[in-house]
Amino acid sequence: MPTLIDLRQEGEKSRPRHPEKEGRPDSPSPRKPDWIRVKAPTSLGYHQTKELVRELKLHTVCEEAGCPNIGECWSQKHATFMILGGICTRACSFCNVATGKPLPLDQNEPDNVAYATAQMGLKHVVVTSVDRDDLDDGGADHFVRTIEAIRRSAPDTTIEILTPDFLRKPGAADRVIDAKPDVFNHNLETVPRLYHSIRPGARYYQSLRLLDSVKQRDPTQFTKSGLMVGLGEAKDEVLQVMDDLRVAGVDFLTIGQYLQPTKKHAAIDRFWTPEEFKALETIAYAKGFLMVSASPLTRSSHHAGEDFARLKAARLAQTQA
């Protein structure tokens, strides 16, 4: 069952960010290799994006998950909006998003995300969320309202969603699929052997079924999924996940290096080299993915707009071949 941490409410200053991890022993992170290092954000564009996010009381996965690419993306006024609040009802051992008991939904959030999308002039917007196992529909209606609001405020903007798994929420995923986002993304995150320790509230085959259901219900919709490496997986296990995703008809695969948010999070087993990522990319293309992004700093929404253009071009080329 999903892990629901019922402690202090969202917004309490004294609330620990990860209460379920407080008693865990430290797992020191090894020194980062040179290919992982990024510069601290300082640009004007970064600060303007930060001010707009604060003004509208929005959450972004860029901040909440501690993304290493935040300086680059926010400098270009690109952001991944995180809806359904800032507190997750699950407690994945890799994730830096705060866990606990969420507040009621902010009914203005869909319109605020749409307004920010229009204000920033985004050609492609990514919307993700925390897990909300406490809601009857897992937050599906909120996703639909957000998609609809963006369509009204920024009709020329393409929309990519990165959803939870809607575990034990019958009919919820169908409602989101029927809202017709341009890209439906759901990350498997890791290999099935590691789910018990890395993603304990989720089920590997539920996630695969979700991705498959998108293609079954709307074959025209692009589907996307992502993996982290460096958690103790074997290369053969990663290749098997690729095969599973291709059986589910997934178009776009991202693979990036896991980086430990705090010493209480899952330990880093090793850093995969840029050469190993390049090899994974080559293999993934050979397996039939239309689009692959594999590098140490790859994240699901990094360069999402440019990648979406390339994804469309790849499908067009395939149909004309």
Tally Cβ neighbours within 10 Å of residue 12: 10
Helices (H), the chain: 44-55, 61-64, 70-75, 109-120, 140-153, 172-178, 195-198, 204-217, 235-247, 274-286, 304-320
- CA distance linking residue 209 with residue 240, whole number of Å: 16
Measured in whole angstroms, the distance separating CA 13 from the mean position of its chain's CA atoms is 26
Considering only CA atoms, give the Rg of the chain: 19
Q: Amino acid identity, residue 154?
A: A
Residue recorded with tokens 């439906």: 184
- 153 among annotated binding-site residues: no
Is residue 136 a contact partner of residue 125, using CB atoms and an 8 Å limit? no
- 88 among annotated binding-site residues: yes
Tokens coding 121 = 């002039």
- 93 among annotated binding-site residues: no
- CA distance linking residue 35 with residue 43, whole number of Å: 22
- 67 among annotated binding-site residues: yes
- 301 among annotated binding-site residues: yes
Sequence ranges of the binding site for [4Fe-4S] cluster: 62, 67, 73, 88, 92, 95, 301
Please enumerate, by residue number, every residue annotated as part of a binding site: 62, 67, 73, 88, 92, 95, 301
